[in-house]
Chains A and B, each alone.
Chain A
Amino acid sequence: MTASIPVLHLSGLSRRFGGITVLSDLDFEIRKGEILGILGPNGAGKSTLFNLISGVLPPSAGAIIYKGTDITRMKPWDRCQAGIGRTYQIPKPFSHMTVFENTLLAAVHGARLSSAQARTRSMDVLHRTGLAPLAAQTAGTLRLLDLKRLELARALAGDPEVLLLDEIAGGLTEAECHSLVDMVMAIRDEGRTIVWVEHVMTALRRACSRLAVIYGGGILTSGTPAEVLADPQLKAVYLGADDAE
């Protein structure tokens, strides 16, 4: 079994913003080839965790080990090229570039492909994410749902080994959500590891092999979807929080 090899090891990870501690002494392992779902109320620090793993924010303390190497001080672009890809919860498109150029950038600089290969890869991921008809459109003109698709397409174009997905299913119809889950599972089947922050429980329940709940600066509980979703602590965390399903 490859499923238990840790691909990412988060060790004593903390992050403070001014006086506020968002993550404190978080320890966790992400295993190769899994789809790990991450739950937690708004403001729990899920996106912050992705910022630490992708390197756009430095941790206040702790270490991030990726495939046995300490990458805590590695620059975001080096992490991307080493195989850590991510999406942004609030899309960050290259607004004045076309949809195609958005993915081309990731294929050229993230996946380090030659120009011809990068073009092919870009079109592949655009077809996959349903954005191919919009390839020539300026990214700044896209609707929110398409911007989220573009987040996924761009991250995928970078050929990640570990893919961090930050709330990409919100606002989808049931059918769209179903095909998104299919796509995420297909991406995993290519040998990628996926960490998926999501509030849409039906999606997580079907896609994930494991769930973890972030609360109070650390991992409150983790386990199989059935275990975690039945955990009374989860209800307590979400009690009164209106973003739970």
Chain B
Amino acid sequence: MTDLPLPPTSRHAPVVFGRTIVIALVALAVSAPWLTDANALQLGTQFLCLLTVALMWNLLAGYADILSLGQHMFIGVGAYAFYGLAANLSVMPHIAIPLAGIIALLAALPVVFVVFRLRAAYLAVGTWVVAEVFMLVAGRIPGFGLGTGTSLPLSTAKAMGATALDRAVSIYLLALAVALVAWLGTWMLLRSRHGIALMAIRDNEEAASSLGVNLIRTRLGVFLWTAPFLGMVGAITALQKMRISPTASFGFLDWTVFVIFIVVIGGIGSLEGPLIGTIVYFALRYALSDYGTWYLIVLGGVSVAVMLVEPRGLWALLRRWIGEDVIPVSHRAPKQ
């Protein structure tokens, strides 16, 4: 044999390193409430929300070939549903958040037809238009602050804790729970029979279809999968900001455009990509915080640069060195 296997330690060193980093990040995220102050926890909440949204957009665009420009609609629906439940119906926030996720899922059902009928650029524009319609409708519902939006009642804030720190901790833990469920769930999804179909669609849609993958069912299933998580992120963001409004809750820039930058920079069509992209985004924002909106321009520049060097993002560059997935989704051949 010419192909001598490398000693296992040297072959696996980079991937062990990568996995250690991921585990350390999770440990850091879990222990953050005991380590930091309210400001840092609020930033952490934003991070976890954006991380979850990036994962979902990546699942749609990177795997299921659904180039959605309208995912902020589910964030907005989640925020408004949360307001309706927590403020108008006095539902406990911890219960209102998952319910907001379910309502976002229900809102996604009619949108499925847009995804089913349209492809590529038409789908992108179509989802965007639908999101705008959702936003316009949200601004006309009586009892939700109409066009200017409204604040959540103090009672909702009090339900989250007595002090600012207590509230920051409870909201952070909610965001962490949603992010963990989203990531673990999506990881398990990708390792399942549906996941292998998604990866096949990502790599070659035509071959996948002629090898038995139901493109329609798989695509629509993934689309519906993302909606409740997006809705819960919307609910948590409304809770954190203590405010809903059509333009902010259905924020196209915050929840769709930046998220596309994040996924493009990190690496589309992988689980590691959205994580790396979100870290890069927050690092840029922090590093350039004294320069106003410059970080947006730098963000755009970085994503263009990354796209030109490696269309599959920073993760593709790293993966070449690591040699395998840090978050493994592969199915190993049985030993012979």
Contact = CB atoms under 8 A, between A and B. Distances in A.
Interface string B292-336: 000000000000000000000000000000000000001111101
B206 interface: yes
B202 to A, nearest CB: 7
B37 interface: no
Interface stretch (A22-30, A115-123, A205-213, A220-228): A115-123
B330 A101 contact: yes
B277 to A, nearest CB: 18
Contact of A86 (B210, B216, B269, B333): B210
Contacts of A136: 332-333
Contact of A123 (B211, B330, B333): B333
A112 B211 CA distance: 11
Contacts of B197: 105, 108-109
B204 A105 contact: no
B210 A54 contact: yes
The A contact surface, by secondary structure, is helix
B186 to A, nearest CB: 17
A77 B211 CA distance: 6
B211 A132 contact: no
A81 B211 CA distance: 8
A215 interface: no
Nearest to B269: A96
A93 B203 contact: yes
A128 interface: no
A106 B211 contact: yes
A94 B333 contact: no
Nearest to A139: B203
Interface of A: 54-56, 75-81, 85-86, 88, 92-98, 100-101, 104-106, 108-112, 115, 119-120, 122-123, 126, 132, 135-136, 154-155, 158
Interface of B: 193, 196-197, 199-200, 202-204, 206-216, 269, 330-334, 336
